[in-house]
Amino acid sequence: MMEMLLDVAIILLAMALVGISYLAYRKSHLRATLYLALAFLLFAFKKVVEISAESKVIGRDVGLVSDSLEALVLLLFLLAIWRR
């Protein structure tokens, strides 16, 4: 039960960071903030996929998908830092 609450808290925090990053992009038009918004969105999606796999909604092993999303999130973070 505690794990589920933490997972939901992580998703809500990631979505809040998506919103903050998007507002920063609209104000500054820096591409790095758009990369950050996409990274946080993919991070929230990754967590939803992991929760779905744990609750047996998805019947397959999602390890490859989860790892791929994690690598993509890290790549977007790298682009956000590098492009500045």
CB 14 within 8 A of CB 43: yes
Q: Is 58 helix (H, G, I), strand (E, B) or coil?
A: coil
Question: What's the mean per-residue pLDDT of the chain?
Answer: 90
pLDDT, tens digit (0-9, with 9 covering 90-100), for 43-82: 999 999 988 888 777 767 788 888 899 999 999 999 999 8
- Say which amino acid occupies 52: S
Q: What is the pTM of this model?
A: 0.86
Spell out the domain ranges in the chain: 2-82
Calpha distance 52→7 (Å, rounded): 11
**pLDDT for position 30:** 92
Quick check: 2 pLDDT over 90?
no
Contacts of 35 (CB under 8 A, 6+ apart): 76, 77, 79, 80, 83
